[in-house]
Chain A
Amino acid sequence: MKVEIKDSAFKPYEEIEHYQLSLQIQGRYGAVATFVGSMRDFNDDQQVSGMMLEHYPGMTEKHIEKICQQAMEKWTLLDVLVIHRVGEINIGDAIVTIAVWAAHRGDAMDACRLILEDLKSQAPFWKKEHAKGGDRWVKNNTSGYVRSEE
């Protein structure tokens, strides 16, 4: 398992490939579930030009590790990678990457989803958007679906 907080832009698919090459699980995994979350140029019907992402050094890493550990206890997984950006983020930058390796797709996909949702609702990060009307703290994450926002 690897959890990393990065303060500069990263290439999610290169990171996943690089980590996979370092694992001694070739031939054992039948599924790799991945998620990449990126910075949009809009939120709450307003144009956004970028954002600052703050975290709680120490607790953030510790809490994500706990979330991954819980997923590894709930499903049969081979390995988990989580990378999350902090600092100044530009439109289009990757914010978070999650990759889960497992023998079977159900374990990999369910665990990837749970790690993401738990990270979004519990891991200590805070977004401050640079919006057209000025900087603003994001109060809550969206539900993850367009229709429920309507």
Chain B
Amino acid sequence: MSITVKYFALLREQAGKSQENIDYRSGMTVAEVWQTVMNGDLPPDIKVAVNMEYTRADRGLDDGDEVAFFPSVTGG
């Protein structure tokens, strides 16, 4: 029963790791994952993805989901 949490770019450097696993709780949302790992509210400028699809902070999660947090993208 776990969620994989991934960090990219500046967030990866600030977290000091590129990913970690946390315990899954029934009804858990993306915002609650951020609360668990960062001890604070999810800033509005942080982008979130679940299973490699953009999503919202209030999205509910399933056991085994991959949640990613990252700053604004700057490719191209």
Closest chain A residue, CB of each to CB of B12? A54
Let me know if B71 and A126 touch, CB within 8 A. Answer: yes
Let me know if B52 and A84 touch, CB within 8 A. Answer: no
Please give the number of chain A residues whose Cβ is less than 8 angstroms from any Cβ of chain B in the complex.
28
- Encode contact with B along A112-140: 1 for CB under 8 Å, 0 otherwise: 00001001111111111000000001111
Interface check A58, CB cutoff 8 A = yes
Query: What is the count of residue pairs linking A and B with beta-carbon distances less than 8 angstroms?
Result: 72
Q: Please tell me which one of the listed residues A55, A59, A128, A137 contacts residue B75 in the complex, with CB atoms under 8 A apart.
A: A55
Residues of A within 8 A of B68 (CB): 56, 59
- Encode contact with B along A33-45: 1 for CB under 8 Å, 0 otherwise: 0000100000000
| Complex Cα gap A126–B73 (Å) | 5
Question: What is the distance, in angstroms, from B38's C-beta to the closest C-beta of chain A?
Answer: 18
Q: Please tell me which one of the listed residues B6, B53, B54, B74 contacts residue A126 in the complex, with CB atoms under 8 A apart.
A: B74
Residues of A participating in the B interface, judged by any CB pair closer than 8 Å: 37, 53-56, 58-59, 62-63, 84, 95-96, 116, 119-128, 137-141
Given contacts A84-B76, A126-B8, A128-B9, 16 further A-B contacts (CB under 8 A): A59-B68, A95-B75, A95-B76, A116-B76, A120-B75, A121-B73, A123-B76, A124-B8, A124-B49, A124-B73, A125-B74, A126-B73, A126-B74, A127-B75, A137-B10, A137-B74
* The 7 A-B residue pairs with the shortest CB-CB distance in the complex, in nearest-first order: A125-B75, A126-B9, A120-B76, A59-B52, A138-B74, A127-B74, A137-B10
